[in-house]
Amino acid sequence: MAGGNPFGAETKIKTVGGEYTIFRLGKLIEDGIGHIEKLPYSIRVLLEACLRNVDGFVVNESDVTKLAAWDAKNVARDEIPFKPGRVVLQDFTGVPAVVDLAALRSAMVRMGGDPQKINPLVPCDLVIDHSVQVDEFATRFALEHNVQREFERNQERYQFLRWGQQAFENFRVIPPATGIVHQVNLEYLAKVVLTRDGVAFPDSLVGTDSHTTMINGLGVVGWGVGGIEAEAVMLGQPIYMLTPEVVGFKLSGKLPEGTTATDLVLTVTQMLRAHGVVGKFVEYFGPGLEQMSLPDRATLANMAPEYGATMGFFPVDDETLAYMRRTGRTDAEVDLVERYYKEQGMFHTAESADPEFTSTLELDLSTVVSSMAGPKRPQDRILLTNMKQQWRKDLAETFGKSAPSAPVTVQDNGSTSQITDGAIVISAITSCTNTSNPSVMLAAGLLARKARAKGLNRQPWVKTSLAPGSRVVTEYLEKSGLNEDLDALGFQTVGYGCTTCIGNSGPLPTAVSEAVTEGDLVVSAVLSGNRNFEGRINQQVKANYLASPPLVVAYAIAGTTDIDLSKDPLGKDADGNDVFLKDIWPTQKEIIDTIASSLDAEMFATQYAHAADGPPEWQAISGAEGNLFAWDEKSTYVQEPPFFVDMPVEPPPIASINGARCLVSVADSVTTDHISPAGAIKPDAPAGLYLQAEGVPVSEFNSYGSRRGNDRVMTRGTFANIRLRNQLAPGTEGGVTTYLPTDEQMSIYDASLKYKESGTPLVVLAGAEYGTGSSRDWAAKGTYLLGIRAVIAVSYERIHRSNLVGMGVLPLEFQTGESRDALGLDGTETFDIALTDDIKPGQDVEVTATKADGSTIKFTTRCRIDTPVEVEYYRNGGILHKVLRDLAAS
């Protein structure tokens, strides 16, 4: 697998599991190349990958020497090729990736090539975890019935994945009802050291979900990329990246009594967002590492996308080895990790010298206090003690209500309740961020036990759910007996997968839904997730708050966010006495003792021994066979995308974009949730009308995420988020725009068709942080298929900018201090973008905007095609187009 050995770094190490070749970083030190011992540990992993893969073509000797000379205070923005060891996919992003691979095979046949060339060259694991929805809850049948509905809804998708499982090499599918991809990766898939062809090297990966970074807590380099980039890696292409800056985050002290890892990560997220770490690595160091469990580290690493970093990395140390043992890894695997990292000088101890960082922050863990975040962004932290007053402020300022609405009656099963603004209608223990961490999961169970003993229960209007990230969670909850207490408060297990955090919360109970609509209420969700963007959790819920699992349980009991849990009672006990949160909050000793008595390595080994088998419903699925997929025009789940149909053998030269019209104009912090189709499909939306025309009843619409293999659904759903505010259609919310030639308001999709008929290219005007959020490939694919050829924004989130280039859409950035408003643009102009075939990364690009009266505004933008390789991607119309042409030519 390795290339040449020009640095003479190849050597052997002996381990319990045998002898392996390694490429020793110490040889560079001996030869006076760079200052390896001062590099951040994350940079050392990238350096080893370059050293091992030098071939004089993709990876050159200069890539090694430049990276070895990484200067913390003056990071050279050199492009480096990084070859990850593996790829991890989840099914929402994985299905379109497999669809694209199938389409590439079909295109290869049309071009007269060998379809077998389209095959993953590195190991790929696809974990089906995004398709389960919370249809049933708070009953002992919830899990069984939700799994049944999942298979009913997704049979066609699962048949397609079964085909992919047999058609492609190096491709493994972890079936539904196993767990969440990142927790399965942490507990099972990750090896920390990989071996291939007798060579040992650091485990590394890219994943098609932004929270791939969770694995950084285990000392594994990895981050989220778009499905487009992941497919390229699967086909043997490196990730081309600019040498990153590394921000050091020093941890000291120990978390105080009464706080959780969730409180810590919300604190760190706020600090790092304020510092500015977009496009940078964050690496944790300091004496606080010695006090931090690996699940706590994984919680911090998981939310790197929320604080904006490419990674949130922890080096390998004794706690890494201890966690591997605790989660059932073999003695040989643990020994290999210890021997390899110590031999490479990459094993961290309390005595290790601190690396040199581009900048540093510091946090004394003892200063962390109970926190939440919301109502719309994960970086907007709220102290628990300030929650009541912040809610009232947000109700007035964010949601435009000077006073709460009049109470509305909710009638359900004979009981009658009244709710108003602030009522919590969803309370969900969900998401890999927290379900991977036994300390907070058991804390939730202990709080439920104490609440139950006091006679407390959830409020009847609250939809409660527990979605563990792996079956191990269920096993240790059952062993501790805490599952009975959680069940008693309505937190029955609803499924093993990513549920409420990605919008798979399911519908609100009819009585609650009707009350919310009748009173036009601003209601709340409290969830232990990592994402709370507007319109994401549930379309009827405007205020969404992130919190630790025990706080999720507490708020289900309270039933409202209009409460100060530090002072106000949660309820009354059997004797009529007030019960406060402090009365039922578990102690650290109780949590530690429960972990010790209810977790063991055998649980992990047993649960993952048959991870690939899946439930009976999965085993009963029969998929098509053969190397080429038989596309079915009648399918509403899987269609051959148009990306490679009629693609010329040679790409045309890059040319100017002339006469473009603005389709969408948006403000700051527009997320990929706003852009990419996600959540429920509205019957009167373009995608809903399409499905009905195809004979699909509304009850079988499923979600956008489940239909990501069908471009006809996804293109219609792009920019269709109900909370999107397109400034070209003022006063509206949702996927609405103005078709400028006739000044008519219509759906964005319908307008795009009219522009396409006249051959008019389209642009998007945007504010800062455009594309924040998940690594949704369809945010870029849908943009392209709508006919948008350029985006002009104040700034971009890392993954979305990359995905735009990967789909042949030009990302341009306003000059510092300039914006749409500052330049006097209103989006009604006609845009001419001056380009030539010799476009360079980061060059200035002149744009001329012509108003209806003929006057012009000329301004200069920065081309955010960042690397020479990205120029080639753009020239070819996208990254996969380039890969296909290269493979066909070979």
Residue-wise pLDDT for 136-187, tens only, equals: 999 999 999 999 999 998 899 999 999 999 999 999 999 999 999 999 999 9
The pLDDT of residue 592: 97
The pLDDT of residue 228: 84
pLDDT band at 414 (very low <50, low <70, confident <90, very high): low
Is the distance from CB of 890 to CB of 874 less than 8 angstroms?
Answer: no
543: three-class secondary structure by DSSP: strand
Q: Sign of the CA dihedral 81, 87, 92, 94?
A: positive
The angle that helices 798-806 and 227-234 make with each other, rounded to 10 degrees, is 60
Residue 548 has pLDDT above 60, yes or no: yes
The single residue listed with the structure tokens 């020793």 is 24
User: CB pairs under 8 A, 24+ apart, for 186-190?
Assistant: 186/214, 186/215, 186/217, 186/218, 186/298, 186/436, 187/327, 187/436, 187/470, 187/472, 187/604, 187/608, 188/327, 188/604, 188/608, 188/611, 189/88, 189/125, 190/215, 190/218, 190/220
Please give the residue that has the higher pLDDT: either 689 or 721.
689
Mean confidence (pLDDT) of the chain = 94
> Tens of pLDDT along 811-869?
999 999 999 999 999 999 999 999 999 999 999 999 999 999 999 999 999 999 998 88
662: three-class secondary structure by DSSP: strand
The angle that helices 294-302 and 318-326 make with each other, rounded to 10 degrees, is 100
Q: For the chain, give every domain's residue range.
A: 10-82, 371-586, 642-676+723-889, 679-717
The pLDDT of residue 213: 97
pLDDT more than 70, % of the chain = 99
pLDDT more than 90, % of the chain = 86
Residue 572 has pLDDT above 70, yes or no: yes
Residue 347 has pLDDT above 60, yes or no: yes
Q: CATH top-level class for 642-676+723-889?
A: alpha beta
> Tens of pLDDT along 438-449?
999 999 999 999
The pLDDT of residue 772: 87
CATH assignment of 371-586, given 3.40.190.10, 3.40.50.10490, 3.30.499.10, 3.30.70.260? 3.30.499.10
Half-sphere exposure of 516 (CA within 13 A, CB side): 23
The pLDDT of residue 775: 62
Tell me the longest C-alpha to C-alpha distance in the chain. Answer: 81
Rounded to the nearest 5°, which phi and psi values hold at 338?
A: -65, -45
The pLDDT of residue 413: 59
The pLDDT of residue 881: 95
Where does residue 331 rank: exposed (0-12), middle (13-18), buried (19+ CB within 10 A)?
Answer: exposed
Which is it for strands 856-863 and 810-814: parallel, antiparallel or unpaired? antiparallel
Q: List the beta bridge partners of residue 416.
A: 411
404: three-class secondary structure by DSSP: coil
Residue 108 has pLDDT above 90, yes or no: yes
> Tens of pLDDT along 450-487?
999 999 999 999 999 999 999 999 999 999 999 999 99
Is the distance from CB of 268 to CB of 282 less than 8 angstroms?
Answer: no
The pLDDT of residue 624: 78
The pLDDT of residue 527: 97
The pLDDT of residue 625: 87
Which pTM value belongs to this model?
A: 0.87
